[in-house]
Copies of this chain bind each other. A is one copy, B any other.
Amino acid sequence: MNENELVRRLVSIGWRGSRAVRLGPGDDAAFLRGGMVISTDLAVEGVHFRLDWISPEEAGFRAGAAALSDLAAMGAAPEALLVSLAVRGEPSLALELQRGVRAAGDRVGVAIVGGDVSRSPGPAVLDVVAVGRARTVTVRGGAEVGQGVWVSGALGGAAAAVRAWEAGTEPDPRARERFVAPPDRVTLGVALADAGVARAMIDISDGLVADARRVADASRVMIRLDAGAIPVDDGAGDLNLALEGGEDYELMFTAPAGAGSRIRALGQEMAVALTRIGRVDEGEGVVLEDSLGRVRAPGRGGYDHFATPDPGGAS
């Protein structure tokens, strides 16, 4: 059972329909009656972060920023965070993690309004709940044939940092910064949604290809990515990391073919690079086109918590 299949099964166990819910599970966040948008995001020591790589405060900041990124992807304005913390014996670790989440909340002007804390006999675990508000939300299923595919910022930096740490070296400082301080795309996500420009939107947490595939699946379309157009982070310098690395927390969205100038103007206004990286086509899944028009299906497509380990190391 891979992670997507596990999530599908969890959703089918948990979901039963509800009049209190405008959009149930399966997107970046749930959308409740009254316009509340809510999402949870787990960060597990040894899986999402290691405390010999980054400080507890940096780990907290990442977790907070990742949770807020789900709201950005729905076009929802954040209102509050809640933080559940499980830590080994020493409670000071909980305080440092909390400080980091608070800093991520401060960046978008929201406080931590609740949470829970427990001893953990194992790794430190943070679960950050992000609560926001929206009139309408931008979902994964809104992509239509003919739309352009866009991405904010540049990709692959966070994954480059992880690769360096895993190889026992210190990452490029730019890559490290991308890992410890995911970008704040909340204002951008809300603006793209409110302007009606973004028709499908997702935040890139598991890698561009994996998250593009989620949009393609939810919209029943094919996404064609233009390999030469994908913005690769200076700290990464490797297209594969940009395609499959994950943890970028940039926004990928689709927009009507004629929306390019509005999108570029919005990007300039917000000082965020917005790049057209492909188009929506008939079909299914994600394909990658090179400059000669050659097409290939990309590799395994992102991080999978429950994948069977790849014995050969090649994918």
* A262 contacts chain B at the CB level, 8 A cutoff: no
B9 near A95 with CB under 8 A, answer yes
* Interface magnitude class on chain A: 35 or more
Q: Are B118 and A48 in contact (CB under 8 A)?
A: yes
Whether A39 and B114, one on each chain, are in contact in the complex, defined by CB atoms closer than 8 angstroms, is yes
Inter-subunit contact B14/A127 (CB<8 Å): no
State whether A14 touches B79 (Cβ < 8 A).
no
Task: Check if A284 is an interface residue, CB within 8 A of chain B.
Answer: no
Interface centre among A33, A92, A129 (most CB of B within 10 A): A129
A38 to B129, CA, bound (A): 10
A111 within 8 A of B: yes
Task: State in angstroms the CA–CA spacing of A230 and B20 once bound together.
Answer: 38
Checking B34, B46, B85, B113 against A21 with a beta-carbon cut-off of 8 angstroms, the contacting residue is B113
Decide: A38 and B98 in contact? CB cutoff 8 A. no
Query: Is the CB of A112 closer than 8 A to any CB of chain B?
Result: yes
Is A229 on the interface with B (CB-CB < 8 A)?
A: no
Residues of B within 8 A of A32 (CB): 36, 79-80, 113, 131
A82 within 8 A of B: yes
Taking A25-B113, A123-B122, A129-B129 as contacts, is the C-beta distance between A80 and B42 under 8 angstroms? Answer: no
CB contacts under 8 Å to B, within A1-47, are: 1, 3, 6-7, 9-11, 13-18, 20-21, 24-25, 29-30, 32-36, 38-42, 44-47
User: Shortest 10 CB-CB distances between A and B: which pairs?
Assistant: A122-B122, A14-B112, A30-B113, A127-B127, A20-B79, A30-B114, A42-B116, A16-B111, A46-B121, A84-B127
Given contacts A42-B85, A47-B119, 9 further A-B contacts (CB under 8 A): A6-B95, A14-B105, A15-B111, A18-B111, A24-B114, A25-B114, A38-B113, A42-B116, A47-B121
